[in-house]
Amino acid sequence: MRVMRHLPDTRLLASRHRLIESVPVLLKRLAPGKTPFVVCDEHTWDAAGSRLQEILAAAGAPRPAQPLKLTSPEDDYKFAEKVAVSISAAGTNPEDVIPLAVGSGTITDVVRLGSFLAGIRFISIPTAPSMDGYASAGSPVMKDGFKKTIQCRGPLAVLTDLDIAAGAPRHLAAAGTGDLLGKITAGADWLTAHRLGLEPVDRGVFTFVQKPVRGLIKYLLR
């Protein structure tokens, strides 16, 4: 897939039904020998985290670390620091741990930053279709009362179980409408930058995003 050229940190984008059952096999390929470390919140624990922890434990070695369940944060950066500390506690060496971010926006951003602070990679396990930054390298987080985007690294992989994503509460799915509509203006910005000689358009990536967006918007407006 041509779009993967623009995701130098990410080795795999996978989405299919019942994918959660294949996570242990995928981990052997993506992070062999590393201790899985599930990070979630109380909602995503119920949606997928608990089931994933059971699957990982049943798969045997390496046994998963104790999961970390975060509460709603007031300061995302402090939670990212907590993730980084918990990574060290999950294994004898942080490099022997692979965090699994089970959630959508906030959880993914916090685990991305926490993993970056610990100097290791992470894998994204999305639980809702409403967020467009699962493969991003930047983490927009609250720090000292201000929202700040901190450049980190993208996930090693994004593993989307379609059954889990489709089961997200309707208000979470609806929350993605803004991100979806933003693709139109983002595309227009890119075309403008191209014509001004500032940033050449990659037609493969442009089509990869813009083609499904129009169909999805038509579906929403029915």
For the chain of 222 residues, list the mean pLDDT of each consecutive stretch of 10.
Answer: 69 96 97 96 95 95 90 81 91 90 94 97 94 90 89 97 93 81 93 96 90 86 78
Would you state the pLDDT for residue 39?
97
Would you state the pLDDT for residue 110?
95
Domain spanning 2-169: CATH 1.10.1740.10: no
Half-sphere exposure of 11 (CA within 13 A, CB side): 9
Classify residue 166 as exposed, middle or buried by CB count within 10 Å of its CB (0-12, 13-18, 19+). exposed
Q: Considering only CA atoms, which of 85, 119, 120, 79 is closest in space to residue 103?
A: 79
Helix (H, G, I), strand (E, B) or coil at 71: coil
b/e burial code for range 95-115 (CB count within 10 A of at least 16 → b) = eebbbbbbbbbbbbbbbbbbb
Cα–Cα distances in Å, from 89 out to 1, 36, 210? 37, 12, 43
Cis status of the peptide bond prior to 62, with omega within 30 of 0: yes
pTM of the model: 0.87
Q: Which residue has the tokens 């987080």?
A: 141
Angle between helices 203-220 and 177-195 (to 10 degrees): 140
Would you state the pLDDT for residue 80?
94
- What backbone torsions phi and psi does residue 130 show, to the nearest 5 degrees? -95, 5
| Number of neighbouring beta carbons within 10 Å of residue 156 | 21
